[in-house]
Structures are given as structure tokens and as C-alpha cells.
Amino acid sequence: MRSNGPSNPILLGVVLAMTLSPQMLPGQSAERLSYVDRLVPLLDRELFFGDPEHAGGELSPDGRWILFRKPYRGVMNLWVTETRAAFDTARPITADTTRPVRAAFWSQDSRFVVYLQDRGGNENFHVYVLDPAAEADASTGVPPARDLTPFERVRARVLAIPEPTPGTIVVGLNDRDPQVHDVYRIALRSGARELLFRNEQNVAGWQTDLEGRLRLGLRVGPEGGTEILRVQGDSLIPVYQCNHEETCAPIRYHTDGRRVYMVTNRGEDVDLTRLVLFDPATGIEEFVEEDPERQVDFAGAEFSDVTEELVATYYLGNRLRIYPKDREFAQDLELLRRRLPEGEIYFASSSDDGQLRIVRVTRDVDPGSVYLYDRATGRVELLYRARPGLPTEHLSPVRAIRYRARDGMEIPAYLTLPRGVESRNLALVIYAHGGPWARDVWGYDPFTQFLANRGYAVLQPNFRGSTGYGKAFLNAGNREWGTGAMQHDLTDGVRYLVERGTADPARVAIFGGSYGGYAALAGLAFTPDLYAAGISLVGPSNLVTLLRSIPPYWGPIRNIFHVRVGDPNDPNDRKRLESQSPLFLASRIRAPLLVAQGANDPRVNRRESEQIVVALRDLERDVEYLLVPDEGHGFQGPENRLAFATAMERFLAEHVGGRRQEELSPLLAERLARLTVDVAKVNITERAAAAEIAATAPLPTADGALIRPRAVQYRTTIEAMGQTIDIDVARTVVRARLDEREIWRVVDEVHSPLGVAVDTFDLDRASLAPLRRGAEGTGGVSLVFSDTAVTGELRVRGQVIPVRVALDVPVFGNESALTLVMAALPLAVGYETTLRVFDLETQRVRPMWLRVVGMEDTEAAAGTYETLVVELIPLDDDDAGTATLYVSREAPHDLVRSTTKLGAAVGGGSTTTELVAVTTAATATQ
């Protein structure tokens, strides 16, 4: 089987000020906790953060083999063993020496193992395939693997492993367009790929049926709602919609091939998600089940590998609840509960005949044990314990609690208390989960148990905005980051434990990763008297730059961020986002801060960490910084996990008073030293500093009187992904009038392999401010610019896309309009300025940095010219390519040649434009 897998707010402020203020001064070392000597033995940090002895465990469909992960040459790799053989006779089948292999599965015919791997945490996953029975390479000791998606800067997604076509898989690839995934069928043996659907409709997710046929797409609408689309040939037909406050998503097709199991809470009278059967052809929706206890959302379903029928449903309340739908499954579950240790039972995989199953058991004090269950004999065999050296008797139970927030909302949470001492006046760590659209569950967490062993109580609140508790609870977190209810729920968790006498108000720290890292920064900035210390792991400090730097492949779900967090291009939203960004209130942070960041993080750019580090350093606050060069959004390498854990326990021991492990191996000491950054040497890049200036600075003055009517011809050559494309442009600049207003009209006639298009830009005659743009070709554009907005529409492939972008600062036009602006600027060697343009493709304002870096003679098809060398640098995306422009030295500074290195997100490559001919007089030297 396989899984789809009532307080007065004014009074409250007074109480907090009186009872929750840390008694220690910033930077002062904390006294050792009074109860340290009564704690259970101090456990080695490697028991928590070193690699497990084994992990995973998946049966091959024929039941002959077990695939799992285990260290090989110091890195977690893939291993296989025969099902009936001793587990210690397993052999490795991958030998990655730099990064752990995290995800793998069998082909349906049990011939191949398919796995995904990225580089250094960049999340550009490739799909690899290998034959575990192939002869091992002498140099690696493992069979050779082939890359099925050998494309740089491309993220592959495995969408389906169809049983009827066991030699193929269905994969999504964003090699054509970095923002969307086209769908391919890839042959495992040859690597040949067949395009199933070209994604030109902004589809964010796909669903196949049990035969592997592409049946449904999922798209996020302009208002953040969800559309489910039926695939009909090359078309997509909307069949189901839910609004931005609701959830709806397909999970698996029914055996009848018509209906699809779907999770939804659409409807005004529906709060919790439920399981339904939906017929995309008729629109008929049949209720299947919701939580029998009416407490939480639907969490998952189990389907038989023999019959493909639904056999169980899952719900995650305080603990996991399983509801059998099949008599045989119910009997199996009852037998397993009798024979396995107490804990949560998860079914990982089974053989196709249903006789063998891999079963995993986890507990709050045990990271997990994996068993093989033989249905024919009833035998349950222990395969391995993930961390057999971890003494569970010294770990701390985790219990579910609930507390009231200041507005009366009940907040579910998990509380872990250090073992061996009375639960009174304890040092406390608030451990905020990431996401934030996720939740904590009962079970083992290495950070929770590590902190408890060091003497801290740990509270894990499922604050508003967490998933699993219905749409009202989820939507109560919309736009409530930092200064709103999401952060208040953490603050009120501290209040609850202080009022009960559990927590010492002078010894409270806050820690988290991703959103939890942001919550830690927000806690220190917005409630500076509450916390004695904070730890941010890959946490954003500026919500504006966070939202503008999300990975390209999140483009189809960008509107969800706009609804739930905010739109940085909306002036009102931007102001609120800035007010919710800890960076802008760094001066209020007084408690010591530890920041850790992966250098290759595609979700939270390293700038998010470094700008808060620099701000606090310049304010002479206590801040420490770890930068991990070979990691991304979270740390996978055990050496990096251990280094962070070491820094973490030292930091908390100094500022909160818990205990720490003193001994340090030479290798770990060396690694920690390499990752620890001297904050005095951290510099915000020039690009980042310029971005902050460009966001609000006045535009440079462009003198429209310098422009002259002219007719010129350019040729643009694009070289990318092995292709070369030539585009010819005939440009005319003429004087004209628009509603009695004197203007410059720039008309580009563009000849490309797609046909002929005409692009017209009207600019104010004096200032070169954009007024209107229109284009006609294979599609169309109609835009009107004002001081406060850009409005109009974009017509593409029969679709009309409205353009409605509010402006809180003036902008220049892009493309041909921008070349006129640069022609009219006072350019000279050493000149630099920031500016902003409206970018039609992304429908946002893009800040730019312009600087003149030199002067040289430049050759073009039209002749040789004396030119200034100008760099034009996008400031909102570190991956975007810098354009180098060569413009005539004398004003007007007409474009002679330009080169642009395309960013990694678009597959790399370059664009070159050169002047081919001039109809009017030009300053050529030949």
C-alpha cells in the first residue's frame, strides 16, 4: 500500500510589561539554571543530529527487495537488500560524496530505482535512474546512474509512476519556461521523453489517473482561489473552483476512471476539509467522509495496491487517528497494534500482491523503527531502529495542550518539559514551525528533544495560519505576520506558561526555521521585552524583498502569497509589509540573536539574513552569524547540522542559562570555525543597498529636448539552450501629439520567427515619462500610464489578462522607452543612478541600477562609434542578468550595441543587440 500520504487587551499589555520582561541586561551572560544538576544525563549532540544508521524503507513491487538509505562513504546514500536476507547484508547503489540522497522509489516492474538529487541545496532537482542489479563501477562501488533530466537550472518534478507502463514515469520540467512545468513521459531505459502537455496556462499542479493519463490541472487564479481544470486534448476546461479562503485539490483517481477523490472545504457552511468523489465530466460531487470527531481537516488516505480501492483514512488531531474502510485492513491494523510498540503506525509501502508491508512506528521519544509485516504468516519482523543508540528513557514526553489567545481563540500546541525536574520556573524556548502553512504534530523532533535535554521547556504552538484546523483558523492568519495575530499567538503562549508558573519570564528564548526564523526575528523586534535571546534559521527579515525573490517555479502560486501575506507592488500593502518586517525595526531589538543561513537557499535569499546581521552589528547589538556554503533552505549534511546544534546550545547556554556539551571533535571544531562569520566583515552587496535606495528615490532627470527624430535598424540575437534566434527591429522616433500633449512616439516593427509585431510607446516630450503603450502581433498589449497606476490588458493566445498595477512612486517605461531615457540622461564616466521601470512580463515595478563604467570604440554593423560603457543591473533578482550597453559618447546617447547574460532561472545564455543601419545622420567614424 502507498499513502497519499477573555482578556482585556489593555490590561494584557500592562501584565506583560510587569511580568514578562527579562531581568537580564542585553549582552549579559545568564546564570546557570538552578535545576541543571537534577536533569537526566547530558546526551551527545550527535545522537540527535548525526546521520541515522538507517532511514526510509520501500518494498519493490514484486516484494523481492527493500530500498533504504544509510551512510556510505560518510554520506546518506541508497542501499538495497533482499527481503528475506539479513539486513546487514545490504549493498549500496549510490555513492554521492557531497549531498545526501533524500527521495527515491522503485519502477513499477521492480527493474529500476529512480531518485532525485539537487546540488548544494539549490532545489533544482534532477531525476536519475539506475539498475540495482547492474555491475558496480570499480571506482565507486555502485552501479552507474543516468541523469534523465540533464538540464542546468531546471527543477524536475515526478508526477506519476504509472503501473500499466512500468518502463516510464511522468515528469514535470520547467526547462522551457522557469515559472511553469510542462509535462513529459520519460522512458527509464532510453531516457527518451514525450511531451504530454505544454503548460502555457499557468498550471501549478497536475493529476494523472491510475493508467498514467494526464487528466487534471490545478491553477491559482488572480484572486488567490483555486481552479481545477479537465485536460481535453490541448485544452483545459474549468470544472471546479474554490475561493482564496477555501481548499480544493485532487488526490487520486477512482478505479472507475471517471471520478477523482478530492479534498475540499468549499462552501459557506463548511470549515474542515473533507474527502469527496468528484466527476469532472458531470460536476457531480459525492461526500465520502469528514473527521468523525469534527476537530481537524482530512489528513490522508490509504489505497490497496491489489484492488486500488480506499482502505483507510487518516486525521491528525492531538495524535494520529486511523479509520479502516476495509475488513482486511482493519484486521491487519488490530494485529499490528497488539504486536508493535506504542506509537503512531504508518504504512510505508507494500508488495503488489498485498502480502508484504513495510510499517513504521514513531513516538515522541523515538525517531522510529521499521518493520516488515507478512500477512500470510502474521509475522512482524524488526528491520531496524533509526537511531538505536538514542536512550529513549532519557528523552522527554510530548503532550498536547491548548491555551487561549488574547482574543479568546483557542491555540493548539505541544509542550515538552525537561525530564527529571519539577515543571516550575523553567527556562523556555518557543519553537515556531515553518511554512507557515503547515503544522506541528505529535512525535519525535530532534530540536525539541535536544533542547529539553539541555534543560529547556519547549512550546510548539500551532498559531493561526497553521493548516489542519479548518479554513477559519487558517485564514485568521492572513496578513497577520509579525505585528498581528500569528505572532500574538506565540506571545500569548509565553504568557500562558508564565501565568501557570511553568516558565521563568526572565529566561525565554524563541527559535525557528524559515517562517519560524522570521517569527524569531519578529519576536525580538516587536516584543523586545519578552525574549532573552532569539535564533533564526533561514528566516526572512524583509517581507518586501522576500516576496520579490521567490523562486521562478513558484510563479503559478504567487497570488497565494499576495492574498495570505501581501502584494509588495500595492502601495498600501507595501507599507504594511515594511511595518511587519523586523529589518525596519532592528533598532528595537535588544536581545542577542544567532542567525544561520544556507548560501544557496532559493526560497529565503542569504540577503535576508545578512541585512539583519549588518543592521544589528551597526547598532552595536549582540549578533552571531553562521553561513553554510553547501546548503540551501535547511541543512542536510550531518557536519552542518552538528555545527549549527553546537552553536545553538552554546548561544542558549550563554544567554538563557541551560547546559551544553563541552567536548568537541577536531573535525566539528574546524567545521564550526569555517561556518562562523566575523560579523564585522559582513557587507550588504552594492546591489542590495542600491535596491533599498531605488525603491523610493526620485527618478533621474531625463531631458527630452535632447532627443531627435530618427529611423534606425537593430538586430537582436538570442543564444540560449542550444538555440540561436535572430530578431530584426526597425525603430522610428517621431514627434506627435496625444490629447493635445506633445509627445515622442517610438514605433518598433519587430520581425521574428513568430511573425511581425508593431510596438508603439508614447512618452512625454519633456520628461520622457511613459503615457501609453500599444502592441499588435501574435497577441496584443494596451497600457495606460498615470502617476498612480498602470492599467490595461495583455492579449495572449486568446486569453485577455488584465493589467492593474498601483504605483506609489513614478516609473519609466521599459524596452524601447528605456533606450530613449538613457539617451537623454547626463551620462559620463563615473555617473551612476537608480531608476525604476514597469515590466510588462511580470506586471511589477523593477528597480534598476545604472552606472557608466568606461569609454571605448565599439563596432557594430552600422560602423564604429565612440561609446560610453553603461551597466544596467536589475536589483530585485540576484539571478537576473546584468545588461552592458554601449551608447554614443555625445548626447543623445543612442544605443549602438548591448549584451545581456541571461540569468540562471531562464536557462542561461545571452542576448546581443547591435545597430545595423541609421536613416538619419549618425556619428560613425567610418
CA distance 357 to 378: 11
- Nine cell digits for residue 591: 536581545
3-class DSSP assignment, residue 548: helix
- Sequence length of the chain is 926
Count CA within 13 A, CB hemisphere, residue 66. Answer: 28
Beta bridge partners of 326: none
CA atoms within 13 A on the CB side of 536: 32
Cβ-contact 575, 606 below 8 angstroms: no
C-alpha–C-alpha distance, residues 907 and 719, integer Å:
10
- Among the listed residues 428, 496, 431, 432, the one whose alpha carbon sits nearest the alpha carbon of residue 457: 428
The whole-angstrom separation of Cα 170 and Cα 173 is: 10
> Is residue 900 classed as helix, strand or coil in its secondary structure?
strand
C-alpha–C-alpha distance, residues 417 and 399, integer Å: 9
Three-state helix/strand/coil letters over 568-592: CCCHHHHHHHHHCCHHHHHHHCCCC
Number of CB atoms found within 10 A of residue 736's CB = 13
Q: Which residues contact 440 (CB under 8 A, 6 or more apart)?
A: 413, 414, 433, 460, 461, 462, 466
Dist. CA 925–CA 886, nearest whole Å: 15
**What is the C-alpha separation between 89 and 772, in angstroms, rounded?**
72
Q: Which helix (H) or strand (E) holds 925?
A: none
CB atoms within 10 A of CB 742: 12
Q: How far apart are CA 184 and CA 521, in angstroms?
A: 42
Residues 205 and 218 sit within 8 Å (Cβ to Cβ): yes
Q: Is 319 helix (H, G, I), strand (E, B) or coil?
A: coil
* Number of H-type helices and E-type strands within the chain: 15, 51
Report the C-alpha gap between 509 and 776 in whole angstroms: 59
Positions annotated as catalytic residues are 514, 601, 633
Separation of alpha carbons 843 and 512, rounded Å: 33
Q: Which of 289, 299, 242 is nearest to 265 (CA)?
A: 242
Distance of alpha carbon 748 from alpha carbon 728, whole angstroms:
10
The DSSP code sequence of 127-160 is: EEEE-TTSPPPTTTSS--EEESS--TT--EEEEE
Indicate the helix (H) or strand (E) that contains 85.
none
- Whether the bond between 436 and the residue before it is cis, its omega within 30 degrees of 0, is yes
